[in-house]
Structure 1
Amino acid sequence: MSQQPTAVYGGQAVIEGVMFAGKHVHVTAVRRKDQQISFFEVPKKPQNFLQKLKKIPFIRGIIGIVESAAKGSQHLTYSAEMYAEDESGPEEAAKQKEKSGWNLTMILGVAVVGVLSFIIGKLVFTLVPTFLESMIFGHAFTNKILHNLLEGVIKIIFLLIYLWFISQTPLIKRLFQYHGAEHKVISAFEAGSELTVDSVQKYSRLHYRCGSSFIIFTVLVGIIIYSFFDWQSLTERVIQRIVLLPVVLGVSYEVLRWTNALRDIPVLKWLGAPGLWLQLLTTKEPSDDQVAVSIASFNRMRELDRQVNPS
């Protein structure tokens, strides 16, 4: 057992692989059809202004979310490319890439689309339950807090149905397995364990700092925040939800950090339970091969980070 590490890392499952974000580089490792592992490495470009914003509570969460959506889209696109190449062959994939005009501009476009997709998805997930709750219960009673609670319940039901539905497809099921592999590697590293397949497999596929936990916290935090504001019509309620969305995201991020800090304290550790329960849907137990890919990605990321900053 090595000394307890202090670095905090995050990652993301991609198609047949895992991406890890280091201090200086993002690395994706993908298992190819021939069982070889290929890497996609993207150095981080220092953004002094953004780094300053990341130190400000409530604002840092929004910045981090936007950054994650942009970077994640690039790495997910790379994994999709590799998967398509394995399925159709390198020559056919090259032709498709040439036809599509794939270049740096398109990669940047993918990042922008990733951010927009997140924002649009979050708006839809926020507003559709608002409309539904208003249609079903709008004239049943006047208690605004109860309306907010029912709106939250509808959001959670929508989320669970959506996650269950997509998890039935083979590709998404494997994606969720790689998600579990990502969590296991981070947990093993944070515990100071050796990063071997056998050692990593002993750890839980659930992790307090997961984005899945963040999603459920946005629902719960939203119920509380919305209760401080009154509305008199559906239009006013919808506008209020849109305006308060950045506030909900920022506060939810801080709650996620808080629950992660308290996870080793008896009783208080249960504050993170809702996020862990949701991860029972968004993660699956990975195979040894999938854990090996996750370890390869993490080790490569750490290696490149040390090359930039050996200390």
Structure 2
Amino acid sequence: MDKPKFGGQAVIEGVMFQSKDKMVTAIRRSNDDIEYFEMDRPEKAWVQKLKKIPVLRGNVAIIESSIYGMKHMEFATDRYERDPADDVKIEQEKQDANTARIVMSTIIVGILSFLVGKFLFTLIPVFIAEVFSGVVTSHVGQVFLESVFKLILLLVYIYAISMTPMIKRLFQYHGAEHKVINTFENGDELTVGNVQKHSRLHYRCGSSFILFTVLVGFVVYMFVPVDPFYVRILNRIALIPVVIGLSFEFLQFTNKVRNVPVLKWLGIPGLMLQLLTTKQPDGHQVEVAIKSFNKLLRSF
């Protein structure tokens, strides 16, 4: 019998792990205590049906993960650098505010932030490539140039933010998340020593998905016109859900064939990007990730 598949994400000073019906976050507080946040993943019938439709399910999964993930990130952020003695104040602040309005606003802001970010990373390279349209005139050349600029923009952005102390620590927890899942999937005992022996890279990572949107977009854009320019802009916007959906399918495929000698190389570009989006965690960070994962396992 195959082991269940788990996902996760790094949060401020902690890690969230999730199964198909449960999510658990563990964070380390300023007093060195570890605190947990748990929630069930609601199973809505219509969402489950959408998640069975190829290409469409990728968009559903991204939106769903963003909504639920933000709740865990909010939990961690609320407590970041706050004295645990102030927890009563945190709860009081939430009670004084309209909780439903805040949650809805957070969800809307999160979705809009994702869409704006996706639009920018999609359209800025288009405008840059158009600047060179007098030199690179062919359809293939323009799409290739656009994809190169998109990749450069992505790499520069990730590298720049990884230099900030907070994001660097977030990427260390990201590495700890991957190490724990790799240890579990390898059948090893979840100890700090064992976890540290495993790779901080993983085939199912969202970082790989981001890179695949660049590669898949290059292929998809070959089949649509780049002239006139306004048509190019419109089809890039219209094809965002298609590129997201196909990239999700490709990510799932690379995970399924990661142990096949030849096909495993399909996932290598995504793993290489994870060298930027993950950092080597220390023992304390790995400990938090292990506790989060064990807490999730106990819910089965």
Matched, 1:260 2:255: yes
Confirm or deny: 8 A CA contact 2:172 2:279 kept in the other structure: yes
Give 2:75's aligned residue: 78
Confirm or deny: 8 A CA contact 1:5 1:189 kept in the other structure: no
Give 2:121's aligned residue: 125
Give 1:289's aligned residue: 284
Matched, 1:58 2:45: no
Partner Cα distance (1:247, 1:65) in 2:
13
Give the unaligned 5+ runs of structure 1: 307-311
Q: What is the CA deviation profile of residues 53-95 of structure 1, one whole-angstrom value per residue up to 9, with x for unaligned ones?
A: 11111111110001111111111111110104239x6179649
Confirm or deny: 8 A CA contact 2:30 2:82 kept in the other structure: no
Matched, 1:202 2:187: no
Partner Cα distance (1:240, 1:159) in 2:
21
Confirm or deny: 8 A CA contact 2:171 2:277 kept in the other structure: yes
Partner Cα distance (1:245, 1:66) in 2:
13
Per-residue deviation, 1:253: 0.5
Give 2:99's aligned residue: 103
Confirm or deny: 8 A CA contact 1:5 1:190 kept in the other structure: no
Partner Cα distance (1:106, 1:47) in 2:
23
Query: 1:21-170 to 2 correspondence within 5 Å?
Result: 21-86=18-83, 90=86, 94=90, 97=93, 101=97, 103-135=99-131, 137-170=132-165
Per-residue deviation, 1:102: 6.0
Query: % of aligned pairs identical?
Result: 49
| RMSD value, Cα | 1.9
Q: What is the CA deviation profile of residues 13-68 of structure 1, one whole-angstrom value per residue up to 9, with x for unaligned ones?
A: 00000011122221111001111111111111120011011111111111000111
Matched residue type, 2:142: H
TM-score, normalised by the number of residues in structure 1: 0.92
Aligned residues: 300
Partner Cα distance (1:160, 1:102) in 2:
39
TM-score, normalised by the number of residues in structure 2: 0.95
Give 1:309's aligned residue: none
Partner Cα distance (2:99, 2:287) in 1:
30
Question: Which of 159, 174, 181 does residue 179 from structure 1 map onto?
Answer: 174
Confirm or deny: 8 A CA contact 1:85 1:92 kept in the other structure: no
Partner Cα distance (1:267, 1:281) in 2:
25
Matched, 1:245 2:249: no
Change (3 A) 1:180 1:262: same
Confirm or deny: 8 A CA contact 2:212 2:251 kept in the other structure: yes
Partner Cα distance (2:87, 2:76) in 1:
17
Matched, 1:269 2:237: no
- Please give the secondary structure, in 2, of the residue aligned with 1:18: strand
Partner Cα distance (1:79, 1:131) in 2:
38
Matched residue type, 2:202: H
- Please give the secondary structure, in 1, of the residue aligned with 2:80: helix
Partner Cα distance (2:165, 2:59) in 1:
32
Confirm or deny: 8 A CA contact 2:176 2:285 kept in the other structure: yes
Partner Cα distance (1:138, 1:255) in 2:
31
Confirm or deny: 8 A CA contact 1:16 1:30 kept in the other structure: yes
Confirm or deny: 8 A CA contact 2:78 2:90 kept in the other structure: no
Give the unaligned 5+ runs of structure 2: none
Change (3 A) 1:96 1:123: farther
Partner Cα distance (1:119, 1:130) in 2:
17
Runs of 4+ in structure 1 displaced over 6 angstroms? none
- Please give the secondary structure, in 1, of the residue aligned with 2:35: strand
Confirm or deny: 8 A CA contact 2:178 2:202 kept in the other structure: yes
Partner Cα distance (1:195, 1:108) in 2:
37
